[in-house]
């Protein structure tokens, strides 16, 4: 009972929307300060515990593909091994909003055969005067795509905590109800409660990875 559920999340969006700032804000103090560490040893993801209900904590692994975005075939494999993601745009940058659908399409294509739960995040909401995307438009898009919407600001920490917590809670419910199943060879969800992995019956004839295409 000591082990916890672990979810792997990704953060997607155009390169200037502030994904890294959002991650830094959320994991503040947990990122091994590069000032004090050897750059060659570190972590590949940020990691943080989130309490989704009293006494129930989930460990989040947050993947950051920072710097590698251009290596498309690499970043694509990150999608498949994530159970959820924040789809971030910048409310002061209309283009980044228009690209949300592209990101979603791309992610959906590449997570197959697994599923991924997304949440739409309108970032930099502290810059109200420069807003180029209204809350209504964003809410419409998110409900059309079956996502929740939240507006955040890493600068003043608005809703940063909430965005991750809400997404985590939703994923937790889906896992609990069996709508998301934990599978061998998939890094999206690792459970600390279910005795490790749910194996399918025809284990012997499976390809090297479980594939439900």
Partner 1 sequence: VYSSMAPFSKTTLDINKLYVSSSYPNKIPDEGEAASEKQEESLPGKQGSEVSVREESDTDPNHSDEAEAETSPTKSPTTPKSVKCKNSSDFSLFSYNNGMVMTSCRDLDSTRSALSATSAFAIATAGANEGTPTKEKYRRMSLASAGFPTDQRNGDKEFVIRRAATNRVLNVLRHWVSKHSQDFESNEELKFRVIGFLEEVIHDPELLTQERKAAANIIRTLTQEDPGDNQITLEEVVQMAEGVKAEPFENHSALEIAEQLTLLDHLVFKKIPYEEFFGQGWMKLEKNERTPYIMKNTKHFNDVSNLIASEIIRNEEINARVSAIEKWVAVADICRCLHNYNAVLEITSSLNRSAIFRLKKTWLKVSKQTKALIDKLQKLVSSEGRFKNLREALKNCDPPCVPYLGMYLTDLAFIEEGTPNYTEDGLVNFSKMRMISHIIREIRQFQQTSYKIEHQPKVTQYLLDQSFVMDEETLYEASLRIEPKLPS
- In angstroms, what is the minimal distance from the CB of 15 to partner 1? 5
- Does 191 engage in binding with partner 1 (CB under 8 A)? no
**CA 29: distance to chain centroid?**
20
Neighbour count for residue 132 (Cβ, 10 Å):
14
- Please choose, out of 106-114, 126-134, 157-165, 188-196, the segment that lies near partner 1 by the rule CB under 8 A: 106-114
Residue 21: which residues within 8 A CB-CB, separation 6 or more?
A: 154, 155
DSSP class of residue 34 equals G
DSSP labels, 118-168: EEEEEE-TT-GGG--S-HHHHHHHHHHTT-EEEE-BTTTTBTHHHHHHHHH
Residues from 68 through 87 that contact partner 1 (CB under 8 A) = 68-74, 76-78, 80
- Does 24 engage in binding with partner 1 (CB under 8 A)? yes
- Does 212 engage in binding with partner 1 (CB under 8 A)? yes
Q: Two tokens at 207?
A: 């390809």
Whether 4 and 57 have beta carbons less than 8 Å apart is answered as: yes
- In angstroms, what is the minimal distance from the CB of 29 to partner 1? 12
- Please choose, out of 27-35, 83-91, 137-145, 190-198, the segment that lies near partner 1 by the rule CB under 8 A: 27-35
Whether 8 and 187 have beta carbons less than 8 Å apart is answered as: yes
- Please choose, out of 26-34, 51-59, 121-129, 196-204, the segment that lies near partner 1 by the rule CB under 8 A: 26-34
Among 66, 128, 157, 194, binds partner 1 (CB under 8 A): 66
Nearer to partner 1, 94 or 169 (CB): 94
- Please choose, out of 48-56, 59-67, 124-132, 159-167, the segment that lies near partner 1 by the rule CB under 8 A: 59-67
- Does 43 engage in binding with partner 1 (CB under 8 A)? yes
Q: Two tokens at 4?
A: 């916890």
- In angstroms, what is the minimal distance from the CB of 8 to partner 1? 11
Among 1, 2, 29, 35, binds partner 1 (CB under 8 A): 35
**Paired residues of 59 in beta bridges:** 6, 49
Q: Where are the beta strands (DSSP E) in 64-154?
A: 84-90, 117-123, 148-151
120: phi then psi, degrees, rounded to nearest 5? -90, 130
Contact positions vs partner 1 (CB under 8 A): 15-16, 20, 24, 31, 33-35, 39-44, 64-74, 76-78, 80, 109-110, 112-113, 205, 207-209, 211-213
């Amino acid at each position: 009972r000591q082990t916890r559920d672990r979810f792997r999340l990704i953060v997607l969006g155009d390169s200037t929307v502030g994904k890294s700032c959002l991650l830094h804000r959320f994991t503040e103090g947990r990122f091994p300060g590069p000032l004090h560490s050897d750059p060659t040893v570190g972590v590949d993801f940020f990691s943080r515990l989130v309490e989704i209900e009293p006494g129930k904590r989930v460990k989040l692994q947050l993947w950051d593909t920072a710097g590698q975005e251009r290596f498309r075939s690499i970043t694509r494999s990150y999608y498949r091994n994530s159970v959820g993601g924040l789809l971030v745009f910048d409310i002061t940058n209309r283009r980044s909003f228009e690209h949300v659908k592209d990101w979603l399409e791309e992610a959906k294509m590449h997570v197959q055969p697994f599923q991924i739960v997304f949440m739409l995040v309108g970032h930099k909401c502290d810059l109200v005067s420069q807003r180029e995307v209204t809350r209504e438009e964003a809410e419409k898009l998110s409900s059309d795509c079956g996502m929740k919407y939240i507006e955040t600001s890493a600068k003043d920490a608005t809703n940063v905590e909430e965005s991750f917590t809400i997404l985590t809670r939703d994923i937790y419910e889906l896992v609990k109800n069996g709508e998301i199943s934990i599978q061998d060879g998939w890094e999206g969800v690792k459970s600390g409660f279910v005795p490790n992995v749910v194996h399918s019956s025809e284990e012997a004839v499976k390809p090297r990875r479980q594939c439900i295409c």
